[in-house]
Amino acid sequence: MKKIINICFIFLLISQIAFAISDDIDDTKKPKKEEIFEQPIILEPDERADIKEEYNPYTKEALKGIIEKDYDLNSSDGMFHKQLKAKFNKGPIKDIGLQANFINSIGETIDENDSDFKFNPQLINIGIKGNFASEKEGYNLLFDLTPNIHENLFHRLVLDAWVETKRIPHHTLMFGTSRPNVGYEGGQCPYLVPFLNRSQTARNFGNIRKTGVRLKGDYKYVDYDIGGYSSDTYYSEFFPGVETDLWVNFKPLANTNGKYGTLNISGGYQAGVRNSVDFNVTSMALRYNYKKFKLSSELQYANGSNGNSGLNDAQQWGYNVTLAYQLTKKLEILLRYDDFDPNKKIAKNNTKEYTAGINYFILGQTLRVMLNYIYAQNDSKPDSHRILLGTQVLI
């Protein structure tokens, strides 16, 4: 009995000590009495704004995020587009961002008679873009510094020079010099083209800059692009004629949330006159993406053209089909068949290109390595083989 009493006494003593210690710890966390009744500090609106935390693109975490970011392969933003942007609290301009983009290739072309190994700086672009203080208006100015021994540098120096407004719901109205949609790939941003070279129809009919007025509409099931331009290209002559470009894209699977993939069915028409030469180009394109698989095809017919290869009054046509598969987040393999007839009135002068490619996305499109093998089967000249290794850097 005595042992039981002693054990109970010891237990009670330990319990009292434990409670005393816990009370001391809790007291250190509790505010003092005078702090409880202290009047709260009320900040004026300006003071609240001063202490608001904003995103700082220059922190170590932000710069580290550039490396760790899961890049969108459909985005053409540079890897430092946030760090190279300056914001203004006053004045007509809200922000201004620097863009510098480079695409280079090195490789060899081999035909039956000769071989040619060369380094080719395919694209060197530097410019600025941003928004005006209203936030609904923006601007873009892009310069081409790519060496070209065949043309005057100053004719192609200014690529983009336009301002835009988004005051109309679902629409963007543009004024100035830009790249119109003459075919899907002919109007595609160069940083998103899957191969080092565009398709043959895109190289001949599209991939050009025009100066004029342009309206772009974007809805859930359809988007469109219509513009009226001078038929001049790259500031080579003053208003040699007028040109109208129309592009319409239907998205029938837009309401399925990607369950069955994405489907785009597109069509376009370009018509105009330049120095009394009429031209028109009809285009049809289909694109289907499902998970890691991509299909893209395009058919174009021209009764005269006014594209990157220059003014042409011949009847031309071509089509191409591209298949791509995303092996991993960084590795993509591609195949393309591309057939082009430069003049329908001349027999047996088609060129067929068979292209196999590998894209390695180190940092999405901002840092990409490309390897292309191209076999060109020519009806009127020797066949050729090309192996190209390219790099793309978007700053």
Give residue 202's pLDDT.
97
Q: Is the pLDDT assigned to residue 214 strictly greater than 90?
A: yes
Q: Is the pLDDT assigned to residue 193 strictly greater than 70?
A: yes
Q: Is the pLDDT assigned to residue 334 strictly greater than 70?
A: yes
Q: Is the pLDDT assigned to residue 116 strictly greater than 70?
A: yes
The pLDDT of 41-59, averaged and rounded, is 53
Q: Could you tell me what percent of the chain has a pLDDT over 70?
A: 81
Euclidean distance between CA atoms 339 and 314, whole angstroms: 17
- Number of Cβ within a 10 Å radius of residue 245: 23
Q: If pLDDT is split at 50, 70 and 90, which confidence band does 156 have?
A: confident
Give residue 119's pLDDT.
81
Q: If pLDDT is split at 50, 70 and 90, which confidence band does 63 have?
A: low
Q: If pLDDT is split at 50, 70 and 90, which confidence band does 53 have?
A: low
Q: If pLDDT is split at 50, 70 and 90, which confidence band does 278 have?
A: very high
Specify the higher pLDDT residue, 345 or 109: 345
Domains observed in the chain: 78-394 (2.40.160.10)
For 187, the 3-state DSSP assignment is: helix
Q: What is the dihedral of CA 17, 23, 28, 29, to 10 degrees?
A: 140
Tokens (6 digits) for 182: 């003459």
Euclidean distance between CA atoms 360 and 124, whole angstroms: 21
Specify the higher pLDDT residue, 65 or 59: 59
Q: For residues 358 and 370, is the Cβ–Cβ distance under 8 A? A: yes
Q: Is the pLDDT assigned to residue 24 strictly greater than 60?
A: no
Q: Is the pLDDT assigned to residue 46 strictly greater than 60?
A: no
Q: Please provide residue 16's backbone torsions phi and psi, each rounded to the nearest 5 degrees.
A: -65, -40
Give residue 154's pLDDT.
74
